[in-house]
Every structure is written in C-alpha cells, then in structure tokens.
Chains A and B, each alone.
Chain A
Amino acid sequence: MRGRWMLSVLVALAVLAGCTGSSGGGSAAVPANAIEISIIYAPESADYLPTIMNQFNESYRQGINPVTGQRLAAGERPIFITGRDGSSGTIMQGIVNAVLTPNSENVARPTIFQPSVRHWLALANYQARRELFDLGDSPATANAPVVMAIWESRLRAIRQTVGYDDIGWEELLMVINSANGWQDFGLPNARRTVFYGHTDPFVSSTGLSTLIAEFYAAARAAGIDERTLSLATVNNEEVREGVRAIEQLIRHYSTRTTEFKNYIAQGPEYLDFVALEENDLIAINRGLTAYQPPERLVALYPKEGTFFHDHPMAVVNANWVTDEQRAAARVFIEYVRLPAQQEYIMQFGFRPVIPGVPLGFPFEEQYGVTKEGPSVLLDAPPPDVIAAVQNTWEFVKKQADIMLLIDVSGSMAQDNKLEQAKIAALAFLDRMESNNRIGLAVFSDNVRIEVPLDNFETNIAQMRQRIQQLGPEGGTSLYDAVVDIVTLLSESTDSDRIRAIVLLSDGEDTTSRRFRLADVEAVIRATRNELNPIIVVPVGYGRLSDDLIRVLQRIAAASNTTWQSGDPNNIGRILELISSFF
C-alpha cells in the first residue's frame, strides 16, 4: 500500500515535470548504475509519451519499481529511458539502414520502435531479410482506428440520398463518380467536385493504411472480394485504375498527418473528407488545431473495414540492443500498458489496449466518434504485398503541374535573401517527384517565364541553371505576376493533375499596372469549381510588413491554402514541406 501511495506521489510530480516542458526523459540526470534504453515513437505519441517516460524515470530515481510500486530489490538496477518522435516510415527505413547500410544518411538505432501501425514492423523484417522485430511480441500500446473524417453535413447528405446509414467506400465512390458531385446528393450550393486527401504512404502510417484500403475498395469494385489483399490484385490493371480514379480526387498530399489535420479543419470548402486516425479527428473537434472547424467532423468507419493503428512497441533485434536492455525495454512496455497510463493516454483520443479501462472522455458523440468504433477490420496484407502497394504509388498517385514563382525584385538583394531563396528553391527541386511537371517564372517590374512548364526530366537541368543565375532588379509586380501565372496554368487542358503555384516574395506590390489584389483573388476563385482548382501557396520571405502579410493571407485564402512565413533559417524546411503536397 505504502509503495502504491509513494508511486502516486511520484506520478503526480512527474506529470508536473512533464507539464513544465521537460520531455522525452532526457533532461534529468541518469541514476547511477541505470540501464539506459531509448525509444523512437510515432509523432502522435508525442502528446503523451514524454510525460509517461518522465514518470517512469522519476520512479526509478526514487528507488521504486514503477510497475510494481515496490522499492527496488537488492541488485535490481534502475532503468532510464530517453526518446524522440519520428514518422513511422522514415524511422523504419532508418532502422533497416542501420543494419544493412550503416553509412546511410538516415540511420536509427533505438532500443524500442513504436510505429503507429504494425505494417512497418513486418515491412522492416521483409526489407532486412531477418527478424528485426518479433511480430508476435510487439504489444499494442494505444488503439486508434483509421477513419474517414467527413463533415457531418456531407455524411448526412449521403445517408439521405442512399436511404441507409451504413456507409463506406462504396457510397463515397458513388459521390465521386456522380456527374454533379455533391449537387446530386442534395447539396445544391456545394461544389460539384469532391476533394479528398491523405498522407504519403512511404512516410505516414495513415497514408499507407489508406492506400491499402483504397486497393481493397478498388478490388471490390472490380469484383474481387478477397479476405487478404494479394499480389495478383495489386498488380491487376483494373484495380490500379480504380485506385488511380480515387487518387484523382486528391486536392493535395502531405507528408504527415500532423499537418493534414490543420488543413481539413478549415472546413468543407477545403476538403470533403480525409483519412485520419480517430484521435486526430477528436483533436479537430475539440478545437485543438490552428483552425476552428465550421461544423463537426464525424468519423466514418467504412462498412468494408478499416485498420486499427495499435501503436505496437517492439524491441529491435540488432547488435546495438543488449540482453539487459531488452529486458529493461519489456519493463517499460509493461508500464505503458498499465491501467493508469492507459487512462492517461485515452485523454488524447486513443482507445485503451487492455480490458478494464472503461472508455470515457473524449469518446463522446460531440467529438464525432462512437464508443463502438469500427465493426469490420481489413486484413493486414503480408509484407511483400504492402511493399507492392507502396511501389504502385508513383503510378497511381495524382501528378502535379507546379510553377515556381520567385520574386527577384531589388529588395531581395538585402540580407542575402535572394541567395538563400535560390538555395531553398534548389532543395525544393531535389524533393520533387519526377512524375510531376515543373516550370519557373520570376517577377520584378514584369513577369518572365524562365522555364515553361514541362516534364521534370526535361526541365530539371535548365531550372537549376536558371535559378543559379537569378539576380535582383527593379520593383515588385506581385499581382500581375500571380494573375499571369494562374491564367497560364488554367489554360492547361490536362484535367487529372494537381495545379499549383509556389510563390516566393519578400515585399508588397509596387509596380503592377494591370491587376489589383481583388483581381488576383477573383482569378484564383474562378478555378474553384473545376476538378483541379489552382492552388497558390505563398511564402513570405524575410521581415514582412503587416500589409504584405495581409496580402499573402488573402491570396492564400482564395485557394483555401495557408501562407507560410519563411526566413533564411527555415525556408528550406518550408519548401520541403510544400514539396510533400505533390
């Protein structure tokens, strides 16, 4: 009893420590003789794991075993855990690299890996050709089904139109394939086009699970109803065409769900539905994102099935993990699965992984979820099939036409801004997928097409060369430049591509003669009802006046994007983020 009481006090202290910014267990001193272990966890676990790690470490620091609540026995060594978050796909690759190609740039050597979903563990074993992870001993630590987050008004419209409640991919495809889109579903003022989004299946667990679910949906539509997705089905051309058709509805992609949940929160004007983990949907409805959603998002648990992201914790079977670290890792995993920790994790929208922890806040109707959750699960395919699904990505994903529009006005000479912007633009091109088409335009007093839009392979060398040659001159004809490039892109007759302008500017318009800001907004808005509306992503560069910020916000709002604030330190990261849209 006394041990339990002491543990409670320690837990309270550790929670306070967590609240004051100490995170990841790494800031405090390591107890003497401690067994040190590390964990890399999925980004969404960053909400709760640092606090849990602090509790765990604090308990050992006080000489108490955190699992039993008893004082450490003679000879029992304390354990100290540190950790960080990382996208599941990136970390999985890093661990495989650490074993196979240890000199790679992306190398990770944790004791424990906690991806969002166990697909990555199977994939790691498959890629490494060895049992890097014991799949049968990788306990779940937090449950979150992948849901289709859809606006309540949209879901109601589908249900009223079809006349029943049990909705899944079949009905979403009906909306998608309907000639007038939402207007055929009782929403006369809604867009005719349908916008959908998901994340990158090479990096994001939600992206990977969603792409697999799309293959299941397309297979069913093609008359193939199999329990477990097979290689033959993934390679079936009709099925691939079905997945490609779904991907055509993508407004834009994103690397991580962390960013995507902010985009959808802008409302139905921006996206109609998006694949998310249930906890992310709850966070949006609780108002924890940058935007306050204009109406409630609801979780659609597709009737055909979905995947549970159970955040397994697996100890890495590699030479950097000793037997005693392995044993210590098991103690930490056991600790995370205790009722107290599971109740804490539940506050962040994850379902408990052990029985006996009743489902409470925030699993409430007001947050768009049901207590029951999904009633059908999809079967996780074997790793060779998952790898094949990933490899289809470049063929089925929606391709993009991207114009890079760079401000080369005289003010860009100050503080070396243009040189920094050139470095960032080159990095942007490095990240660009080769299936996209790219072009380069610059503006000062006038707008100039430096490299017309064409295939990546055709243009890439020329674009690099032209970017390196750019020099500052003249004034800033921002409005004229944006209107001209939007007009240019809107003349493209290719209907199955994302159309986007990445605008890089540091100053207010000073020399536009033909257009005003209102014209810019109008010409962008005019494309909104098209299948592929033009997206303008403005990046304000350097020290920006309030006026320029307002201008960039209005340009971004016209295509429901957000403006980005760049400076020499973060411009590379911002353009990297934007490149993940396509």
Chain B
Amino acid sequence: MIRRSTVVLLLFCLIVGGIVGFNAFLQNQPPVTYTLAVDPSIQGWASALVGEFNARGATLSSGVRAQWRVDATVSDINVWQGRSNWTNERHPDAWLATTSWVVVNAPSNLSFVRVEPSLALSPLVWGGFESRVRLLTQEGAEPFDWASAQRVAAQERWAALGAPSEWGFVNIGIPWPRSSAAGVNVMASMLAAYTGSPALRSSTFADSGFRAWFAPLRQAMRSSERLGEPPPSVMASRGPVVAGFSLAPEFEWLAQLSSYAPQDRWVLAYPAIQAPLDFPLSVWQSAETTDAAHQAARALANFVLSEAGQAITLQAGLRPLNRAPGAGDARFAQGQPYGIVLDWQPGEVAQGDRSVYEQLFRLMD
C-alpha cells in the first residue's frame, strides 16, 4: 500500500515539475516583439532605451518575454497631421511622442491611450554667439528672450546696433514648425511671450498688433527647412554666419557641446514662458489590442523611469522626471558654463487647443 503522504509528495513533485517545465517552455519561446514609433529626432535615445530594455529581458504576466523595436520613420508632425498611414490593420504598438499636444490632438482614427504622461523633459533653450547676445541683451540689461529678439529683428541688420557690417542680417534659427513638433513649441513660446500669458488663444492670430510684432521676427527666422538640420547643429559647424542665435530644445544644444570648440562662445538661456518637450508614452487601443501589449508598454515605461533608464535619458541630454541632473551627468555639466541650469523648473508652460496648434503650425507659411 502506498501511503497517503507519498501520494501527496508525488503530486506535489508533479505540479512543481509541471510549473518549472512550463516556465522553461515559456522561457525558450521566442520573445514577442512590439513596435515603438518615435520621432526621428529622438531615435538615438529611444534606441538606447530599447536596447537596454531588451538586453535585460522583461517577462509579462503570461510568462512570455517582451521586447521592443524602434520605428523612427514617421515624424510626430506627420502623425498629428494624419499623414502617418497608420490604420487598425497596420500600426505601431506604442508611440513615444516628443510632446503631449500631438497625442492629445491626434486624428480621431488613431486610438492611442496614454500609458505615461511624460517620460522625460527637454525645455526650450535660447542659444546665441556671445558677441550677438551682448548686443541683443544690451550687455545683459535685458533678458535673452523674445522681447529682445523682436527688438533686434526689427532692426534687420546687426550694423544698426553698432556691429560690423559683415555681421549682415539678424538671423534667428528655429526648428521648422511644418516638420517638427519642437518648431510648433517654439511658436507657442513666442505667442505666449507676446500675450504675456501661457494660455494660448486663437484670437491672438487676428490681432493686428501681434501681426505687426511678429512680422520682423518672421523675416529674421531661419528655420531648419532652410538649414536642413537643427539650428544648434548648423550653428556649431558653420558659426554665426548661419544664425546669430536660435531657440531649440535643450537636448539639441547639449548634443553639440561635447565637441563644440567655439571661436565665439555660446550663451544659453531659458525663455520665461516655456513649451518643453515632455515625451508621453501611449499604447494603441483597439478591439484587437491585447493586454500583453499594454503590459509591455507599462514595462517599458517602468524601465525608462527606473535608475538605469534615467541614466540613459541623462546621457541623451534629456531630463528624467525623478531627479534633476547633477554635476556628475556629463552632458549637463558641460552645459553649465554656457548657462544650463541643473535644477531647472518648468514654471509657466504655454498651452492651447487644437486650433491654436493648427495656426502655429502654419504661422511660417
């Protein structure tokens, strides 16, 4: 007779063995790969995050391993404008956008649900060659911001401010709003500076006072459409002959500082009313969407917000949500002498509805 306790033991062993075997079976299954759409401007950061996430391995509740693949073929602006060709049948599993308003105002046929409202921050930063900034700010008497930019733009030429004639026209570099969400953010910051309020209103565009104020700025603006790449990159390689100063996301300035050997030093400053990039993560939501995709997106967000993810974020020149950059974070430390503030706080943030962003998008047409 087999004793009862032996039967229990055998059953226990069978169950444990089954669990272990099943787990081993799952572990040996190929991981499920999900697609993460990102704007081309953040492909490097996203690829580094995903690379590390995949290397560490993440197992979903079903026991299946998840990994991500970055797809940087569609810009945020094209998604927002309905030019992504994403459909219910063909779409990424998640979208790491550069800024929230493109997700909030995305076309209605794109059913994304936010997993995390923000994974990092990159404020807009003014940057200019010191010689130009000194004239712009009247030797530091005025803030380096839209009001002083407008004042020098209205003069058309630097010579009108006492500079040598070879400085030529006042050129202001900006990301192009037609192809870059950051460009629309720059326009939002400008509109907020004119009204003195972060609450952006459509009615301002019809204001003749605004149009007159904006006209010289528009004339002076040299967008990435003409420059071909982000203004900080062109300013670093070709100098003030391209643009005397620019407004661009902080990470684009920091990307240049490690190798920038200035003849004319840069000065960096933050506009009073911000329109920072905030990098929300969203997941595609439809009848076919599995819970596993949500779990995979959640796991990715958790990784980005973890210590390891934050380190990668800092290396990309972006600010993690959980802590301010420190003196040990090389990119930010390199920026400090130029004006980068480690414990920067957002303060007032410009925001509007879809119609405001539509008009900002077309403001340079």
Tell me the complex Cα distance, A421–B237, Å: 52
Q: Which one of A89-97, A260-268, A350-358 is at the B interface?
A: A350-358
Task: Give residues of chain B (170-189) contacting chain A, Cβ–Cβ below 8 Å.
Answer: 175-176, 178-180, 183
The reply to whether A375 and B229 contact each other, CB–CB distance below 8 Å, is no
Q: Which one of A105-113, A132-140, A411-419 is at the B interface?
A: A132-140
B224 interface residue per 8 A CB criterion = yes
Tell me the complex Cα distance, A118–B234, Å: 14
The reply to whether A136 and B228 contact each other, CB–CB distance below 8 Å, is yes
B129 interface residue per 8 A CB criterion = no
Q: How far is the CB of B175 from chain A (nearest CB, A)?
A: 7
The reply to whether A376 and B43 contact each other, CB–CB distance below 8 Å, is no
Knowing A227-B156, A305-B168, A327-B72, the reply to whether A375 touches B241 (Cβ < 8 A) is yes
The reply to whether B178 and A308 contact each other, CB–CB distance below 8 Å, is no
Residue in B33, B169, B176 whose Cβ sees the most chain A Cβ within 10 Å: B169
The reply to whether B51 and A73 contact each other, CB–CB distance below 8 Å, is yes
Tell me the complex Cα distance, A569–B180, Å: 52
Task: Give residues of chain A (124-183) contacting chain B, Cβ–Cβ below 8 Å.
Answer: 134-140, 143, 166
Tell me the complex Cα distance, A212–B146, Å: 32
The reply to whether A136 and B73 contact each other, CB–CB distance below 8 Å, is no
The reply to whether A227 and B169 contact each other, CB–CB distance below 8 Å, is yes
A191 interface residue per 8 A CB criterion = no
For A330, what are the chain B residues with a Cβ–Cβ distance below 8 Å?
40, 43, 72
Task: Give residues of chain A (347-366) contacting chain B, Cβ–Cβ below 8 Å.
Answer: 352-356, 358
Knowing A143-B238, A227-B169, A374-B241, the reply to whether A135 touches B256 (Cβ < 8 A) is no
Which residue of chain A is the closest to B240 with respect to CB atoms?
A375
The reply to whether A143 and B237 contact each other, CB–CB distance below 8 Å, is yes
For B166, what are the chain A residues with a Cβ–Cβ distance below 8 Å?
166, 303, 375-376
Instruction: Find A308's partner among B72, B183, B238, B256 (CB 8 Å cutoff).
Output: B238
Q: How far is the CB of A556 from chain B (nearest CB, A)?
A: 42
A546 interface residue per 8 A CB criterion = no
Knowing A140-B237, A327-B72, A355-B256, the reply to whether A135 touches B261 (Cβ < 8 A) is no
For A491, what are the chain B residues with a Cβ–Cβ distance below 8 Å?
none
Which residue of chain A is the closest to B156 with respect to CB atoms?
A227
Instruction: Find B229's partner among A140, A166, A303, A326 (CB 8 Å cutoff).
Output: A140
A28 interface residue per 8 A CB criterion = no
The reply to whether B225 and A136 contact each other, CB–CB distance below 8 Å, is yes
B113 interface residue per 8 A CB criterion = no
B223 interface residue per 8 A CB criterion = yes
Instruction: Find B228's partner among A166, A312, A352, A376 (CB 8 Å cutoff).
Output: A312
A47 interface residue per 8 A CB criterion = no
Which residue of chain B is the closest to A138 with respect to CB atoms?
B228
Instruction: Find B226's partner among A135, A227, A339, A353 (CB 8 Å cutoff).
Output: A135
The interface size of chain B toward A, counting residues with CB under 8 Å, comes to 38
For B26, what are the chain A residues with a Cβ–Cβ distance below 8 Å?
none
Tell me the complex Cα distance, A140–B227, Å: 9
The reply to whether B179 and A136 contact each other, CB–CB distance below 8 Å, is yes
Which residue of chain A is the closest to B47 with respect to CB atoms?
A68
The reply to whether B219 and A136 contact each other, CB–CB distance below 8 Å, is no
The reply to whether B225 and A356 contact each other, CB–CB distance below 8 Å, is no
Task: Give residues of chain A (544-578) contacting chain B, Cβ–Cβ below 8 Å.
Answer: none
Which residue of chain A is the closest to B219 with respect to CB atoms?
A227
Q: How far is the CB of A68 from chain B (nearest CB, A)?
A: 9
Knowing A136-B176, A305-B168, the reply to whether A376 touches B241 (Cβ < 8 A) is yes
In this complex, the interface size class of chain A, counting residues with CB under 8 Å from chain B, is: 35 or more
Residue in A312, A339, A375 whose Cβ sees the most chain B Cβ within 10 Å: A375
Task: Give residues of chain B (232-284) contacting chain A, Cβ–Cβ below 8 Å.
Answer: 233-234, 236-238, 241-242, 256, 258-261
Which residue of chain B is the closest to A140 with respect to CB atoms?
B228
Instruction: Find B168's partner among A339, A376, A380 (CB 8 Å cutoff).
Output: A376
For A340, what are the chain B residues with a Cβ–Cβ distance below 8 Å?
none
B116 interface residue per 8 A CB criterion = no
Tell me the complex Cα distance, A308–B226, Å: 12
A323 interface residue per 8 A CB criterion = yes
Q: How far is the CB of A328 from chain B (nearest CB, A)?
A: 10
For B236, what are the chain A residues with a Cβ–Cβ distance below 8 Å?
354-355
For B261, what are the chain A residues with a Cβ–Cβ distance below 8 Å?
355-356, 358
The reply to whether B179 and A135 contact each other, CB–CB distance below 8 Å, is yes
Which residue of chain A is the closest to B74 with respect to CB atoms?
A323
Q: How far is the CB of A413 from chain B (nearest CB, A)?
A: 58
Binary contact track B105-123/A, C-beta < 8 Å → 1, others 0: 0000000000000000000
Tell me the complex Cα distance, A376–B170, Å: 11
Instruction: Find A353's partner among B40, B69, B237 (CB 8 Å cutoff).
Output: B237
B130 interface residue per 8 A CB criterion = no
Q: How far is the CB of B24 from chain A (nearest CB, A)?
A: 20
The reply to whether A136 and B224 contact each other, CB–CB distance below 8 Å, is yes
A377 interface residue per 8 A CB criterion = yes
Q: How far is the CB of B259 from chain A (nearest CB, A)?
A: 3
A310 interface residue per 8 A CB criterion = yes
Which residue of chain A is the closest to B234 with respect to CB atoms?
A140
Knowing A136-B180, A356-B258, the reply to whether A327 touches B73 (Cβ < 8 A) is yes
The reply to whether B178 and A136 contact each other, CB–CB distance below 8 Å, is yes
For B219, what are the chain A residues with a Cβ–Cβ distance below 8 Å?
227
Instruction: Find A139's partner among B33, B169, B180, B228 (CB 8 Å cutoff).
Output: B228
Binary contact track A366-379/B, C-beta < 8 Å → 1, others 0: 00000001111101
The reply to whether B259 and A356 contact each other, CB–CB distance below 8 Å, is yes
Which residue of chain B is the closest to A312 with respect to CB atoms?
B228
Tell me the complex Cα distance, A373–B51, Å: 42
For B237, what are the chain A residues with a Cβ–Cβ distance below 8 Å?
140, 143, 352-355
The reply to whether B175 and A136 contact each other, CB–CB distance below 8 Å, is yes
Binary contact track A468-491/B, C-beta < 8 Å → 1, others 0: 000000000000000000000000
Q: How far is the CB of B166 from chain A (nearest CB, A)?
A: 5
Knowing A73-B51, A355-B261, A376-B241, the reply to whether A137 touches B168 (Cβ < 8 A) is no
Binary contact track B129-168/A, C-beta < 8 Å → 1, others 0: 0000000000000000000000000001000000000101
Task: Give residues of chain A (421-453) contacting chain B, Cβ–Cβ below 8 Å.
Answer: none
For B183, what are the chain A residues with a Cβ–Cβ distance below 8 Å?
136
For A326, what are the chain B residues with a Cβ–Cβ distance below 8 Å?
73
The reply to whether A310 and B241 contact each other, CB–CB distance below 8 Å, is no
Which residue of chain B is the closest to A74 with respect to CB atoms?
B54
Which residue of chain B is the closest to A322 with respect to CB atoms?
B73
Q: How far is the CB of A8 from chain B (nearest CB, A)?
A: 20
Knowing A227-B219, A356-B260, A376-B168, the reply to whether A327 touches B71 (Cβ < 8 A) is yes
Tell me the complex Cα distance, A24–B176, Å: 34
Tell me the complex Cα distance, A379–B168, Å: 11
Q: How far is the CB of B52 from chain A (nearest CB, A)?
A: 12
For B258, what are the chain A residues with a Cβ–Cβ distance below 8 Å?
356
For B169, what are the chain A residues with a Cβ–Cβ distance below 8 Å?
227, 379
Which residue of chain B is the closest to A375 with respect to CB atoms?
B166
Task: Rank and list the top 5 A-B pairs by shortest CB-CB distance, nearest first.
Answer: A356-B259, A136-B179, A355-B236, A136-B224, A136-B176
Known interface pairs A118-B228, A136-B223, A355-B261; 17 further A-B residue pairs with C-beta atoms within 8 A, sorted by A's residue number: A73-B51, A136-B224, A137-B40, A137-B228, A138-B228, A140-B228, A227-B156, A303-B166, A310-B228, A312-B228, A327-B71, A327-B73, A330-B40, A354-B259, A375-B166, A376-B168, A380-B226
> What are 8 A-B pairs with beta-carbon distances under 8 A?
A134-B179, A136-B179, A137-B75, A139-B229, A143-B237, A326-B73, A355-B261, A375-B241
Residues in chain A within 8 A of chain B (CB atoms): 73, 75, 118, 134-140, 143, 166, 227, 303, 305, 308, 310, 312, 323, 326-327, 330, 339, 352-356, 358, 373-377, 379-380
Residues in chain B within 8 A of chain A (CB atoms): 33, 40, 43, 51, 69, 71-73, 75, 156, 166, 168-169, 175-176, 178-180, 183, 219, 223-226, 228-229, 233-234, 236-238, 241-242, 256, 258-261
